[in-house]
Amino acid sequence: MSKEKLKHIVLDHGTGGKLSGELIGAITERLGEVHVGKLEDSAILPIGAGRIAVTTDSFVIDPIFFGNGNIGHVAVCGTVNDLAVSGATPKYLTLAFVLETGFPVEDLERILDAIREAAKEAGVLIVAGDTKVVRKGEVDKIFINTAGVGEFAPDARSYSVSQIRPGDHVIVTGELGNHSIHILSIREGLGFETKIKSDCAPLNKLIADLNGSFSEHIHTIRDITRGGLGTVLNEIAAAVGRGISVEEQKLPILHETAMAANMLGVNPLYLANEGNLILFVAPEHSAAIVERIRQNPYGRSAAVVGVVDETTDTRVHLTSKNGETKTIDLLYGAELPRLC
């Protein structure tokens, strides 16, 4: 489908006819070597493991393009990270687009380029996909749905909150809230986006490196996405039946992010991230684990930020910089909508 023939998506791209075939052909061509589907009803794939991890996600980010990424980049990274935190090696992704009529083909190509490059960096293949076209206004430009499959090596551990123990140290791998502030700044024209970049990144290789040396000492890993660190901590505290204590001065928060959040009246602890992990690890190995994480470009701000308490009070407590203890509550709703 050349841009000279058609510069925008039309309803006939979703009818299953000639234009649909041209659209699918253009998509697969743009994805290049990361696409291995045969355009049949399902992909038949080799899996050598006895266990697999499966995930699915949908992406509705606004705006679809931002300073150092776009919705396609977020879609691949988000799916890959969901697989990797389980302990699996991400292998295969599916990719489905819902497009509104009038969507520029040039914008779709930019998104596909980002998907291709993110998939190459993560070492995953696109094995199946789908496209649907709806009338203008029935979706906001483009929505993406993915599914992901990862496999476990025969001797690989799978991580679970059930493995968390009192005294475990809590590690965060990157600066908190940057993705949310970056997106909101672009959305509202605030001007912070030049200094505060989205942290969106595939973290499977960082996790694989830790698995190779520290798997016995890592009890669980989660990615910190919607709802931010505060939400993840509350969910885990409730699941393990223990309190968690966090020190504010140890939290890796960029100065500009803190300023922007304060001005906007939002708490960085509840802001979404797209390239940030939380780990619960054996305390005697936390320093070595942080040192290893910092050797990865996506983990240079890693820090131990808290500890799992002995108490069965499942609240999350924050010790502020002035020594005051506060409770980090579970939010009723989202701080900000449509960030991923």
Positive or negative, the CA dihedral 154, 220, 218, 87 is positive
The answer to whether residue 217 scores a pLDDT higher than 70 is yes
Binned at pLDDT 50, 70 and 90, residue 5 comes out as low
Domain 11-151, what fold?
A: 60s Ribosomal Protein L30; Chain: A; (3.30.1330)
Rg of the chain on CA atoms, in Å: 21
Mean pLDDT of 281-286: 98
Q: What is the pLDDT of residue 4?
A: 47
Q: What is the pLDDT of residue 46?
A: 84
Q: Which of 316, 104, 138 is nearest to 229 (CA)?
A: 316
Q: What is the pLDDT of residue 335?
A: 60
Q: What is the pLDDT of residue 321?
A: 92
The answer to whether residue 188 scores a pLDDT higher than 50 is yes
Q: What is the pLDDT of residue 41?
A: 77
Q: Which of 220, 322, 199 is nearest to 271 (CA)?
A: 199
Q: Which of 335, 176, 143, 160 is nearest to 256 (CA)?
A: 176
Q: What is the pLDDT of residue 162?
A: 92
Which tens digits make up the pLDDT trace of 220-258?
A: 999 999 899 999 999 999 999 999 999 999 999 999 999
Which tens digits make up the pLDDT trace of 8-40?
A: 999 989 888 889 989 999 999 999 999 987 777
Where in the chain do CATH 3.90.650.10 domains reside? 161-328
Please tell us whether the domain made up of 161-328 is placed in CATH 3.90.650.10.
Answer: yes
Where in the chain do CATH 3.30.1330.10 domains reside? 11-151
Three-state helix/strand/coil letters over the chain:
CCCCCCCECCHHHHCCCHHHHHHHHHHHHHHHHHECCCCCCCCCCCCCCCCEEEEEEEECCCCCEECCEEHHHHHHHHHHHHHHCCCCEEEEEEEEEEEECCCEHHHHHHHHHHHHHHHHHHCCEEEEEEEEEECCCCCCCEEEEEEEEEECCCCCCCCCHHHCCCCCEEEECCCCCHHHHHHHHHHHCCCCCCCCCCCCCCCHHHHHHHHHHHHHHEEEEEECCCCHHHHHHHHHHHHHCCCEEEEHHHCCCCHHHHHHHHHHCCCHHHCCCCCCEEEEECHHHHHHHHHHHCCCCCCCCCEEEEEECCCCCCCEEEECCCCCEEEECCCCCCCCCCCC
Two tokens, residue 247: 């020190």
pTM higher than 0.75 for the full model?
yes
